[in-house]
């Protein structure tokens, strides 16, 4: 099964949305494999957002991501990266469809509640950046037999 990486951002932490966001992914059928709260710093954010370095809003994004601790998590399912991205909605909360996490809880392009990996390859990189191997757990999800057809997993 595929894994993805999700950050519950400080804007969601400050609005007490942690449980709601986790609940949405669980209700969809994604399985949590790892979770922790951590305080991000310049060092890890410089690496995580290297693709934005040089943009005028780079420091503003980093400052936003350091306002409070974040929740970082690893999830798995068939097509997990795509599912999580679709559930999150488009980056700009004002444009995100109703029913998506950002569409329901965000009116900002920056304060947009969650980060989700954008590809399987980036999910692997991001998971390795934020988690040690022993912090990712493999176990049988009891509901798997009702989530998937017998030949899907």
CATH code, 116: 3.30.70.141
Can you give the residue range of the structural domain that contains 105?
2-134
Catalytic residue, candidates 23, 48, 51, 115: 115
Would residue 73 count as lying in a domain? yes
Contacts of 64 (CB under 8 A, 6+ apart): 9, 10, 11, 110, 111
Q: Is 115 in the active site?
A: yes
Residue carrying the six token digits 């994604």: 30
pLDDT in tens, 25-81: 999 999 999 999 999 999 999 999 999 999 999 999 999 999 999 999 999 999 999
Name the helix (H) or strand (E) containing 14.
helix 10-14
Report the number of distinct structural domains present in the chain.
1
pLDDT in tens, 45-57: 999 999 999 999 9
CA nearest neighbour of 37 among 7, 4, 3: 7
């Amino acid at each position: 099964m595929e894994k993805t990486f999700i950050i519950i951002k400080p804007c969601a932490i400050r609005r007490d949305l942690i449980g709601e966001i986790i609940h949405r992914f669980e209700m969809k059928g994604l399985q949590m494999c790892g979770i922790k709260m951590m305080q991000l710093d310049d060092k890890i954010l410089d690496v995580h957002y290297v693709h934005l370095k040089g943009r005028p809003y780079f420091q503003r994004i980093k400052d936003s991501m350091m306002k409070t601790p974040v929740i970082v998590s690893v999830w798995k399912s068939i097509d997990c990266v795509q599912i999580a991205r679709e559930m999150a909605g488009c980056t700009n909360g004002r444009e995100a469809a109703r029913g998506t996490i950002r569409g329901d809880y965000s009116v900002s392009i920056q304060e947009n509640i969650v980060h989700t990996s954008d590809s399987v390859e980036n999910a692997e990189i991001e998971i390795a950046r934020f988690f040690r191997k022993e912090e990712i757990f493999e176990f049988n999800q009891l509901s798997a037999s009702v989530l998937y057809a017998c030949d899907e997993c």
